[in-house]
Structure 1
Amino acid sequence: NNVQIQKCIYEYQSCLVHSLAMDLSKASLRADSRRVPAGGSVTLTCSVDASADWRYDWFKRQTSEYSKSFMIKSGTAEQNITISEEGTYYCRGGRGDPVVFTEDSNTVTIDKIKRHLKTARITQNPSWIKIFIGERISLTCVISDGDGAQWEYEWRTTSLESLTKITGDWVFYTSISSAGDYYCRGKQKMDLHPTMWSYPIRLTVHSSKPKATLNVDLLSGSGYWDLTCYVDTSPSTWKYFWYMGEIPSEIKPGQDAAASNKQILVSQRGLYWCRGGRGEPVYYTEFSEPMKVGTNQGSGSLVSSPLMTGMVCGNLLLCGSLVLLFIFLLRKIK
């Protein structure tokens, strides 16, 4: 400024007065808020208590007292700028050619409100690993610490770009296109910023129904047959249903069967079937092949009865003994 003043002395007397007035001018900085909301901004206003035609330079340094300052904007005609980062800011005014600057303004320190990012996760019900076409599945988007707030939910899958739902539950019956990765996130109704996307949950959908298998064993000497049904996929997830007759009619506990879910004991001869079921509403497997118990009549698999064979053989032996005794007595009488 001394050089400018000396130049003015030699050129124009009035310029000297003008430059001295500038030297005494100081910029002032104010902010509409000292804290930047998450995802928001703060407006800074720089002003000089003098006539118009000022242009403004804007500076920032980190919140550390000894950090280096750097210019973020230069020569703006507007008194206002918008910032979204924390730090310490100041400004200055300048005008004329060559430019004469005011003193630096006061500093304003802006802090950033630390946003506690809520997280989303997906729960699956039922939580089966192996899912078959046509099964009913419920997915729920759960927001950590999200109780009491009004949330909207957004879902994304491998085959579906985006789906917005009011509730966090997504219930559907599976198809081949249901296979893939599922993501969700939530957003409070009055908030512009959603949570992060959840980690994916993967659904694998098998295209055909599983089929039950029925095994039959005779309990020796008891007159009962042991029927065992199983489904060759995650056995613990299935309940078993039992049927009898050419047209399958369900056997309920107490109807000539001691039911223990996977196994039953039966004494009545006939045609038996089984199948598995799980979920609500119940999703059924295909019926097993029918098994014919205690007889070789009709179709189906034959289950022989050693007990019956023994009874027949015993009766023949008894009859034979009686015949021999009768012949012996006739000879003795003669």
Structure 2
Amino acid sequence: MGLTVLSVLSLFLLNITLCCGDAQDAELSLKPNVSHLFAGESVTFICDMREGNAADWLYKFNWNDQEMVHFTKSSSYLLYLTAELSGNYQCIGRHNGLTDFTKQSNNVTLSISALRPTATITADKTTIPVGGSVTLTCSVQGSAGWSFDWFRQIPDSHEVANNTNTSKLQNFISVSDEGIYRCRGRRGNPVFFTDLSKAYHIQKTCEFDNFL
């Protein structure tokens, strides 16, 4: 009998905690975790009620206070982006056992550009020292979270070699061979690519040509 009373008391205290709002607020996060995105990319919204098990809740996702997804068992939502989808996003959780109890998350603001970005390639110096190398850097202006592919075209040839080391995809490479170099950014799953950068020409004379 004592155990039954304790169980009822525990359930009663749990209901008080939920209904009185003592629990932590819900949290909405993004993957990739960036706020400046581009049309053609995708983003996954992840709603965390920050208490209990994920299966204890139903989830709703809103955009600019309009419902995108009605209450569902999934705590995540994958959205393919267009420029028109810029704005504020929020998730709301409803507890399975207490249908009148809901929690609202923080607002997340997304800025979505209509045009595909172009990568930019720069070099740390304009001439190659004898026996040395030049460091090329790739970037995407005004945005973060990118990995990078590197390409080299052999002089007097149409052959293009992909220099990407898929285990790193760094934003810089050290080069000492003649060639025409380009780069591009990538991020997300499925992968979204930027446009290729302008070409950067490295000559064996250890002097850089201007951008092509």
TM-score by length of 2: 0.72
Structure 1 residues 151 and 247: CA distance shift in structure 2, 3 A:
farther
Q: Aligned residue for 1:141?
A: 47
Q: Aligned residue for 1:153?
A: 59
- Which stretch shifts more, 242-251 or 123-132? 242-251
Q: Give a deviation string over 1:66-93, Cα, whole Å, max 9, x none.
A: xxxxxxxxxxxxxxxxxxxxxxxxxxxx
Q: Aligned residue for 2:133?
A: 224
Structure 1 residues 146 and 274: CA distance shift in structure 2, 3 A:
same
Q: Give a deviation string over 1:112-132, Cα, whole Å, max 9, x none.
A: x74243542212222112112
What is the aligned counterpart of 1:239 among 129, 143, 147? 147
Structure 1 residues 218 and 282: CA distance shift in structure 2, 3 A:
farther
Distance 2:148 2:105 in 1: 36
Deviation, 1:294, is 1.0
Structure 1 residues 135 and 162: CA distance shift in structure 2, 3 A:
closer
Q: Is 1:250 aligned to residue 162 of structure 2?
A: yes
Q: Secondary structure at the match of 2:104?
A: coil
Distance 1:273 1:282 in 2: 19
Structure 1 residues 142 and 132: CA distance shift in structure 2, 3 A:
same
Q: Aligned residue for 2:80?
A: 173
Structure 1 residues 197 and 260: CA distance shift in structure 2, 3 A:
closer
Distance 1:131 1:267 in 2: 34
What is the aligned counterpart of 1:284 among 176, 193, 202? 193
Q: Aligned residue for 2:4?
A: none
Q: Is 1:131 aligned to residue 37 of structure 2?
A: yes
Q: Secondary structure at the match of 2:118?
A: coil
Does structure 2 conserve the Cα–Cα contact (< 8 Å) formed by 1:159 and 1:177? no
TM-score by length of 1: 0.48
Identity %: 24
Distance 1:213 1:263 in 2: 11
Q: Is 1:185 aligned to residue 185 of structure 2?
A: no
Distance 1:159 1:150 in 2: 24
Structure 1 residues 201 and 230: CA distance shift in structure 2, 3 A:
closer
Distance 2:185 2:92 in 1: 36
Q: Give a deviation string over 1:10-49, Cα, whole Å, max 9, x none.
A: xxxxxxxxxxxxxxxxxxxxxxxxxxxx9xxxxxxxxxxx
Q: CA RMSD in A?
A: 2.9
Q: Which has the higher contact order (CA 8 A, sep 6+)?
A: 2
Distance 1:183 1:267 in 2: 50
Matches within 5 A, 1:36-75: none
Does structure 1 conserve the Cα–Cα contact (< 8 Å) formed by 2:42 and 2:78? yes
Deviation, 1:272, is 1.4
Distance 1:282 1:148 in 2: 28
Amino acid of the structure 2 residue aligned with 1:160: Q
Q: Give a deviation string over 1:256-287, Cα, whole Å, max 9, x none.
A: xxx98222222322221111222333322110
Distance 1:148 1:155 in 2: 15
Amino acid of the structure 1 residue aligned with 2:78: V
Q: Specify the structure having the higher radius of gyration (Cα).
A: 1
Q: Is 1:120 aligned to residue 26 of structure 2?
A: yes
Distance 2:118 2:182 in 1: 12
Deviation, 1:193, is 0.9
Does structure 2 conserve the Cα–Cα contact (< 8 Å) formed by 1:149 and 1:188? no
Which runs of no fewer than 5 residues in structure 1 stay unpaired?
1-37, 39-112, 254-258, 304-334
Distance 1:260 1:148 in 2: 34
